[in-house]
């Protein structure tokens, strides 16, 4: 092997050694490592406004993985950014210029906002009248690297919307019918009012409001079906209106409580007649046409005590009765009612009273 070849081989070996062996400092420690590749959480794409009764929040999904598909996401904070524009000069509403860091939110221990499930909720700050606030959000990893900026959300000052008025509840069997009066709309509102109906059970201490109209309704009345009879329910209603593609919702109306069930009695009995027959009194009347008829109550009072009391409850649907418990020389007054199958045994109004005189028999 020639000297020149050995010399070149030595130089090549030395170069390989320098590039593959860590450099040592004077004190025997390794030097600063090369910074790792930039691995940040994936971009947030669903920043939006959530408006509920008494609550207005910015909401976005919590990233689950990083841009290189590794999991879990290296997420320590959110950076909320803001730009303010005059409503009359909003030509650069969605451009990137003009944003500033509005709030850095510690993801693990947020002082403002909270995580619930897969989403983060941040209270919407008060928007100055006449301005447009444009929000965006990005994630910060444990090294302080920032993810791509989310979609931009532009919001106007959100005026207060009054609640519906005069909520009235009407019960029936397994049904509650609601009606209310529309609230007054300020002059700067436009568009049609819509409504949401909420329900809860007060006997459950942990009960929260359940939205029973997922799609807002335009009518000022609603029928809630499939309820449990004789169980208490509470209702509130909210008003909604769209402003700049944002649906605003009022606070809850005044609460109203109801117990559903069959409160409707059968109709009053017609054509009640009574006559003396074979030492007794025969009563007949037109049968009730109520679909849930259970029977009849026969009332009687006499000319001495004056007490009006039920002398028989007829469980059958036979529209007649023979009273054999009368005394000679007395006058008796009769009335009949119909009652239904409900738990309350709803009873009709008393039929027109009829009188029968019992003759003296020698």
As a whole number of angstroms, the distance between CA 280 and CA 83 comes to: 95
Per-residue pLDDT at 339: 95
321, pLDDT greater than 50: yes
As a whole number of angstroms, the distance between CA 295 and CA 82 comes to: 73
Which DSSP helix (H) or strand (E) runs through 273?
A: strand 273-277
**CA dihedral defined by 106, 107, 111, 114, rounded to 10 degrees?**
160
Phi, psi of 8 (to 5 degrees): -65, -40
| Two structure tokens written together for 12 | 């090549």
Q: How confident is the model at residue 247 (pLDDT cuts 50, 70, 90)?
A: confident
Bridge partners (DSSP) of residue 247 are 242
**pLDDT single digits (tens) 54-103:** 788 999 999 999 999 999 999 999 999 999 998 877 678 888 889 999 99
11 versus 228: the higher-pLDDT residue is: 228
For residue 72, say if its preceding peptide bond is cis, omega within 30 degrees of 0. yes
Q: Domains (ranges, CATH) in the chain? A: 48-156 (2.60.40.10), 165-258 (2.60.40.10), 273-357 (2.60.40.10)
Best CA proximity match to 234, nearest among 195, 203, 196: 203
As a whole number of angstroms, the distance between CA 85 and CA 92 comes to: 8
Best CA proximity match to 200, nearest among 239, 258, 147, 250: 258
What percent of the chain is predicted at pLDDT more than 70? 87
C-alpha pair distances (Å), 155 with each of 1, 83, 84, 91, 133:
80, 11, 10, 14, 5
As a whole number of angstroms, the distance between CA 55 and CA 173 comes to: 35
**pLDDT single digits (tens) 171-180:** 998 999 999 9
Q: How confident is the model at residue 248 (pLDDT cuts 50, 70, 90)?
A: confident
Q: How confident is the model at residue 13 (pLDDT cuts 50, 70, 90)?
A: very low
Task: Report the sign of the C-alpha dihedral through residues 38, 139, 129, 183, in that order.
Answer: positive
As a whole number of angstroms, the distance between CA 128 and CA 319 comes to: 75
As a whole number of angstroms, the distance between CA 357 and CA 359 comes to: 6
56 versus 167: the higher-pLDDT residue is: 167
Phi, psi of 18 (to 5 degrees): -65, -35
């Amino acid at each position: 092997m020639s000297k020149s070849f050995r010399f070149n081989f030595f130089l090549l070996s030395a170069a390989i050694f320098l590039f593959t062996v860590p450099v040592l400092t004077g004190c025997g420690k390794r030097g600063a490592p090369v910074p790792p590749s930039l691995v940040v959480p994936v971009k947030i794409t669903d920043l939006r406004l959530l408006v509920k009764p008494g609550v207005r929040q910015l909401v976005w999904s919590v990233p689950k993985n990083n841009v290189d598909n590794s999991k879990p996401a290296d997420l320590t904070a959110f950076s909320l950014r803001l730009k303010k524009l005059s409503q009359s000069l909003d030509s650069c509403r969605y451009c990137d210029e003009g944003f500033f860091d509005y709030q850095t939110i510690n993801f693990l221990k947020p002082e403002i906002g909270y995580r619930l499930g897969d989403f983060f909720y941040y209270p919407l700050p008060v928007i100055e009248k006449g301005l447009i606030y444009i929000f965006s959000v990005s994630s910060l990893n444990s090294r302080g690297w920032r993810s791509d900026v989310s979609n931009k959300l532009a919001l106007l000052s959100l005026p207060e919307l009054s609640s519906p008025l005069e909520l009235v509840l009407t019960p029936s069997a397994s049904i509650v019918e609601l009606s209310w009066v529309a609230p007054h709309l300020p002059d700067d509102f436009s568009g049609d009012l819509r409504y949401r109906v909420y329900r809860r059970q007060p006997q459950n201490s942990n009960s929260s409001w359940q939205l029973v109209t997922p799609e807002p309704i335009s009518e000022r009345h609603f029928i809630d079906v499939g309820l449990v009879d004789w169980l208490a329910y509470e209702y509130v209603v909210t008003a909604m209106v769209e402003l700049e593609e944002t649906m605003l919702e009022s606070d809850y109306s005044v609460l109203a409580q109801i117990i559903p069930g069959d409160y409707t009695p059968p109709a009053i009995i017609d054509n009640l007649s009574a006559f003396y027959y074979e030492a007794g009194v025969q009563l007949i009347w037109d049968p009730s046409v109520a679909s849930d008829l259970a029977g009849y109550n026969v009332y009687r009072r006499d000319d001495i005590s004056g007490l009006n009391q039920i002398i028989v409850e007829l469980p059958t649907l036979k529209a007649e009765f023979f009273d054999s418990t009368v005394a000679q020389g007395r006058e008796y007054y009769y009335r009949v009612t119909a009652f239904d199958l409900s738990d309350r045994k709803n009873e009709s109004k008393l039929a027109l009273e009829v009188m029968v005189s019992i003759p003296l028999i020698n």
